[in-house]
Amino acid sequence: MLTGARRPHPAGTTATVPAADEAGTAADPEAETADRLAAAMVYGLSAEAVTWPKPGLVTAVSSGCHRDMDVYTLLRSSAVLQPAFRTAVLFGLRRGAAAPAARDFAELRAAGRRAEHAMLAATGGTNTHRGALFLGMLLCCAAGIEHAAGRPLEPEAVCRTAQEVSRDALSADLAAAGAGPSSVGLRAYAVHGLSGVRGEVLRGWPSLLGHGLPVLRTALAAGRPLREAVADTVLALMTVVEDTTVLNRGFDPERLETTKRQAAAALAAGGTATRRGRRLVGRMSRRLEQRQISPGGSADLTAMAVALHTWQTRSEATAPWKGDRRAQASA
């Protein structure tokens, strides 16, 4: 989620971020845009959730390393987060043209906290999408800003705006990590110098834009089933992401290097497109489950890749059907 200390508003100002239950009062053009962009973000989370194979992760056919959730938990969580994504889009639409959104980042963060409470209530206390909520709200806010400026939702531009919106706050988070890290991500930075999801955003989303999204686009352009395209996107991200969720249960950097190495080998063998690639993915799944390694950060960024691609192409109405038919034939 969007976490951290809140900063006070300047004197004489009030918060402008609409709460989830207030979003329905938005003006019609804004409401339509917010609905569409938020729905596409949920589509990204849902497409990632059901995709298989994904070593160590929950899929439609396996719970991976997770005993506290399954695919239905993830789908329920995805649905309950839609109002938060809608709120973030509206925030970008309404504040983007009027003032630098970075100044109001604390308000977006507060909305993220409310959304996390809703997520935990829906999942019985299970953290299903904290990282995806953080990333998704940033991108939804950035998409709102880009739309308000009359610019097309190009992934590179949306990611650049998200970086600008959050730079000061995320830099402050990392700077304060040594004073007493309050999360796994900040502990990873304090102990091992791994900046995790914050570093991904601060560096301009290099894993997402340089690895995940190109693999997704290439696979879909080649006519690959959506399921396989998403699965290979997860693998591609596993090879490069500083995934602090991999460290969560053992806090051992070797777990991260092992994950990267095995994912790279499977991808080099063709990923889900070849028999050898699928065999290596299966072997990797068994190994990660034995060691209780779950690359959740890569899964979160995969969902973002699907959402960005959907925003750019507005393909949410047709993409699942092609993938589903071919996925069923190959199952």
Q: What is the pLDDT of residue 175?
A: 83
Distance CA 284, CA 292 (A): 12
Q: What is the DSSP string of 173-216?
A: HHHTGGG---SHHHHHHHHH---HHHHHHHTTSHHIIIIIHHHH
166: left (phi over 0), alpha (psi -120 to 50) or beta: alpha
Q: What is the pLDDT of residue 49?
A: 97
Q: What is the pLDDT of residue 196?
A: 78
* Residues whose CB falls within 8 Å of the CB of residue 228, separated by 6 or more in sequence, listed in order: 219, 271, 272, 273, 323, 327, 330
3-state helix, strand, coil in the chain (%, to 5): 70, 0, 30
3-state secondary structure string, 210-231? HHHHHHHHHHHHCCCCHHHHHH
Q: What is the pLDDT of residue 23?
A: 46
pTM to 2 decimals? 0.84
Distance CA 257, CA 179 (A): 27
pLDDT in tens, the chain (331 residues): 454 333 333 333 333 444 444 444 444 788 999 999 999 999 999 999 999 999 999 999 999 999 899 999 999 999 999 999 999 999 999 876 555 555 678 888 899 999 999 999 999 999 999 999 999 999 999 999 999 999 999 999 999 999 998 998 898 888 877 666 566 666 666 666 666 788 899 999 999 999 999 999 999 999 999 999 999 999 999 999 988 888 865 568 889 999 999 999 999 999 999 999 999 999 999 999 999 999 999 999 999 999 999 999 986 543 433 444 443 444 3
